[in-house]
Structure 1
Amino acid sequence: MAKTMAQLPYHYGVKVRVFPSTGQKRLIKRNSDASRFIYNEMNGMNNDLFWLKKVKTPITLVLKRIADLTERLKKASTAISNIHGWLNFIGYRCI
């Protein structure tokens, strides 16, 4: 059985400084922006779902929205990138 880091007698770490090119900086920024966007979208869906479930007299529109949000949250985050095409854009070359 493999040991965990806490069970090993010594812990080693490596500190590395990188100097990305301009294209790589753009790619890193685009990836971090996309992940932040997806997180915020899913957080917004959870927030909407929370408040919709608090409605005292649910009407068909509210029930339909609750079902839609529940289904969207069950799917992977790739479903969000299918809706928002800019998340699939590969416009930067990493050279």
Structure 2
Amino acid sequence: MSKTMAKLPYHYGVKVRVFPSTEQKRLIKHNSDACRFIYNEMNGMNRELFMLKQVKLPIAIVQTRIETLKQRLKRPSTGISNIHGWLNDPDLDSLMKANAIQNYRAAWNLFRKVHQSGVPVFHKRKTEQKY
């Protein structure tokens, strides 16, 4: 019978420094940019939705835009990918979209619970790439 890590008295970890090749660096940058783009798209849609809900007059254009944004935010992965076709590139990681959406929703949940983290802001391009 083999033991799992949870049953062992000590847990060991290993830190490894990785030196990616040029092709791997390109893939990491491409995935990082796509992840940041999806996060920022969701942030932009939520900000626009908030601003449109401030309009008190029942203008037909505003109401249709609110409904469109609500539909896109229900299924953001397909909603953003349908508009921006480059997100369907096979070089992109399969879980990248899901992780970006999950990170954005976690940022909103953290803001709602704690109120010290602040409203989610747009992510800027940085020298370090992560996704």
TM-score by length of 1: 0.79
2:23 match: 23
Contact conserved, 2:45 with 2:69, CA < 8 A, in 1?
A: yes
Deviation of residue 16 (structure 1)? 1.1
Q: Whole-Å Cα distance in 2 between the matches of residues 90 and 20 of structure 1?
A: 20
Q: Whole-Å Cα distance in 1 between the matches of residues 78 and 64 of structure 2?
A: 22
Q: Whole-Å Cα distance in 1 between the matches of residues 32 and 91 of structure 2?
A: 15
Cα deviation per residue 1:7-27 (whole Å; 9 max; x = unaligned)? x75343221111111011000
Matched position secondary structure for 2:14: coil
2:41 match: 41
TM-score by length of 2: 0.59
Identity of counterpart residues, as a percentage? 72
Structure with bigger gyration radius: 1
Contiguous gaps of at least 5 residues in structure 1: none
Deviation of residue 56 (structure 1)? 1.5
Deviation of residue 31 (structure 1)? 0.3
RMSD, aligned CA:
2.5
Q: Which runs of 4+ in 1 moved over 6 A?
A: none
Q: Whole-Å Cα distance in 2 between the matches of residues 82 and 19 of structure 1?
A: 35
Q: Whole-Å Cα distance in 2 between the matches of residues 52 and 9 of structure 1?
A: 56
Structure 1 window deviating more from structure 2 (45-54 vs 81-90): it is: 81-90
Structure 1 window deviating more from structure 2 (72-81 vs 30-39): it is: 72-81
Cα distance, 1:91–1:11 mapped onto 2, change above 3 Å: closer
Contiguous gaps of at least 5 residues in structure 2: 1-5, 93-131
1:66 match: 66
